[in-house]
Amino acid sequence: MKAFRIKINSWTSSFRYPNLISGFQPTLEVPPVSTVMGLINAASGKYLENREIELGYYFCFKIKAIDLETIYQIKANDKSIPENTVKSNVIQREFLYDCQLFLYLTDEELVSYFRQPAYQLLLGRSGDLAGIESIKEVKFQEINNAKIGGQVIPFNNHYLPGQIQALPRYFSNTIPRKNLGTEPYSIISYTNPVSSQLAGYKPELEEFDSDIYLHRFAV
């Protein structure tokens, strides 16, 4: 099977826990599928819809650390309308340093967007700027009992060990945005890969020791 690998690097990344608003801000150790879809949308310069998507990825980083961050809180009235009252606060935020995302796509049109991205690429928050190191064609060998690391896998019907989080697959193109396709995922860090009974793909001559699970869905 033919696929294309896009290698993306960033100095920092941070992927927040859903529904965690205040206090200490931890980071997931693997980006959700929705974050990767955001990268594809940013590269294309438009909101992708009415098409079948097939993607796989592997994410790794060098260290995880904690930094102090100043946030600004805006007070709202009883009708949830913001008031002209702002106060600052300092929180602790986890972040990942020296990050690499290996993105695998089978649609050549989607790959073409990354050759000259329309908008800046982010691996997390607005300050987590990312760059493309390389784009190349690779061969995928289909295998059973895939070894999985550095990925998120739908928990339903697979039941892989790992951190379980309800994550959206995509977001709507509305204001405010709405979660689409939210379901439980096993978050499996590259630091703790697991054996599985999943069908997967082994990329040729890769820089890491993990097989790739392909997410297939419609948007």
Other Cβ atoms closer than 10 A to 28: 24
Residue 112: its pLDDT value, please? 97
Are 115 and 109 in contact, with CB atoms under 8 Å apart? Answer: no
Whole-prediction pTM value? Answer: 0.93
Is the pLDDT score of 8 beyond 80?
yes
Nearest-angstrom CA–CA distance, 165 and 102 = 22
Helices (H), the chain: 33-44, 108-113
Residue 62: its pLDDT value, please? 98
Is the pLDDT score of 204 beyond 90?
no
* pLDDT tens track for 162-183: 999 999 999 999 988 899 999 9
Is the pLDDT score of 156 beyond 90?
yes
Is the pLDDT score of 184 beyond 90?
yes
**Domains of the chain by residue range:** 2-64+94-218
Are 7 and 82 in contact, with CB atoms under 8 Å apart? Answer: no
Residue whose C-alpha is closest to residue 198's, from 61, 56, 88:
56
CATH 1.10.3470 is the classification of domain 2-64+94-218: no
Cα-based distances in Å from 172 to 16, 38, 120: 19, 11, 20
Structure tokens at 107: 């649609």
The label of the residue with tokens 């082994």 reads: 202
What sign has the CA pseudo-torsion 147, 150, 151, 152? positive
Nearest-angstrom CA–CA distance, 88 and 163 = 32
Q: What are residue 31's phi and psi, to 5 degrees?
A: -70, 145
| Band (20; pLDDT cuts 50, 70, 90) | confident
| Band (73; pLDDT cuts 50, 70, 90) | confident
Amino acid type, 89 = N
DSSP 60-76: E-SEEEEEEEEEEEEEE
Structure tokens at 148: 């999985």
* Sheet strands (E) in 17-167: 52-60, 63-76, 82-105, 121-122, 129-143, 147-148, 151-154, 163-167
Is the pLDDT score of 22 beyond 80?
no
Is the pLDDT score of 214 beyond 90?
yes
